[in-house]
Amino acid sequence: MKKILSLALAAVMLFGCVFAFSSCDKELVGFDIDLAKEVGKKLNLEVEFVEINWDTKEADLQNKNIDVVWNGFTYTTDRDNGYYDEDRQAQIGGLAFSKFYMTNKQVAVVKADSTFTDNASMANAEFVAEATSAGSKVVEDIFGKSANTVEKQLDALVGVEAGTYDVAVLDASLASQYVQNKNGAYNGKLKVLDIAGVEPEYYAIGFREGSNLADVFNNVLAGLYADGVAKTVAERYAQDGVLYNGFGEYDANYQLPTDGDYAYVKENGKIVIGYTIFSPMAYFPE
């Protein structure tokens, strides 16, 4: 059963830009953000970033509020093929995906002084995860429970620190940045635990079902990985150790489409990318 967050947590969710250790007038940065800009340069298109509600990302794509979801988006066959979401009581349509660009896994985050050490000790814990995320699926599959859900992964950390929840299940890349990094906002306050039975994951970029942008991005990214640009961006955010090249060889003779979603963004002169605040993928620096 979902809990109602405290007023303080709700305020954090409402003013997410401030919560991301920034003023909203600062430049958005991060691995996904910087690499998306490089793709835009190659296609000679402006890149516009729109903060979205992760729970409605599929609808935002279908309604053309955005053209792309690029935000540490874990690939699953359900997301690819479509699935019925119990929380939303709705059929969620399938998406088109790029090839994989980064590895990831789900981890547990608890208070630094908690007695949790492994799966067994967390069996009766109160879990929280971002709505419709890979973390919420891990809680269901590994622990046989339904997680309390919040709008953003960062909100899950707020809830654990406040004592609203016992365990947050979220991306290792985010936990590393905010908890394990000595300069992280939760370093010394929270700690990270591995979850037994969790499978490796891969990040991919999401598009509307049937979108030809997936093939376009795949070829552009193949070039950016081949010429070292992706590695340079990854090193900027200490992500070079988890960089993954699923794009294969760059095709210098690739012919850009003249129809479909590519024609749509070309006519608009820009690609609209949906994101959530999620360091080191997309955030506002201090």
Q: What are 272-282's pLDDT values in tens digits?
A: 999 999 889 99
Q: How confident is the model at residue 238 (pLDDT cuts 50, 70, 90)?
A: confident
CB 97 within 8 A of CB 201: no
CB 2 within 8 A of CB 245: no
Q: Which residues are CB-neighbours of 168 under 8 A, at least 6 positions away?
A: 108, 109, 110, 127, 128, 129, 135, 153, 156, 157, 159, 160
Amino acid identity of 25? D
Residue 192 structure tokens: 């990270």
- The owner of tokens 């999620």 is 278
The pLDDT value given to residue 25: 63
Question: Mean pLDDT across the stretch 96-105?
Answer: 97
The pLDDT value given to residue 1: 35
Query: Given this chain, do its domains 26-82+90-101+203-275 and 106-193 carry the same CATH topology?
Result: yes
Helix or strand run (H / E) with residue 162: helix 153-162
Q: How confident is the model at residue 228 (pLDDT cuts 50, 70, 90)?
A: very high
pTM of the model: 0.79
Residue ranges per structural domain of the chain? 26-82+90-101+203-275, 106-193
Residue 213 has pLDDT above 70, yes or no: yes
Q: How confident is the model at residue 91 (pLDDT cuts 50, 70, 90)?
A: confident
Residue 24 has pLDDT above 70, yes or no: no
Question: Mean pLDDT across the stretch 122-146?
Answer: 96
Judged by average pLDDT, the poorest of 37-46, 79-88, 168-177, 223-232 is 79-88
* Adjacent-strand bridge partners of 102: 203, 243
Rounded Cα gap, residues 111 and 250, in angstroms? 45
Q: What are 245-257's pLDDT values in tens digits?
A: 999 999 999 999 9
The arrangement of secondary structure in 106-193, i.e. its CATH architecture, is 3-Layer(aba) Sandwich (3.40)
- Selection from 196, 278, 280 nearest residue 236 by Cα: 280
Residue 11 has pLDDT above 90, yes or no: no
Per-residue b or e along 11-34, where b marks 16 or more CB atoms closer than 10 Å to that residue's CB: ebbeebbebbbbeeeeebbbbbbb
Question: Mean pLDDT across the stretch 22-45?
Answer: 89
- One-letter-per-residue 3-state SS of 103-151: EECEEEEEECCCCCCCCHHHCCCCEEEECCCHHHHHHHHHHCCCCEEEC
CB 35 within 8 A of CB 113: no
Question: Mean pLDDT across the stretch 4-12?
Answer: 33
The pLDDT value given to residue 46: 98
Residue 60 structure tokens: 């935002």
26-82+90-101+203-275 has which fold? D-Maltodextrin-Binding Protein; domain 2 (3.40.190)
The pLDDT value given to residue 12: 33
The pLDDT value given to residue 22: 34
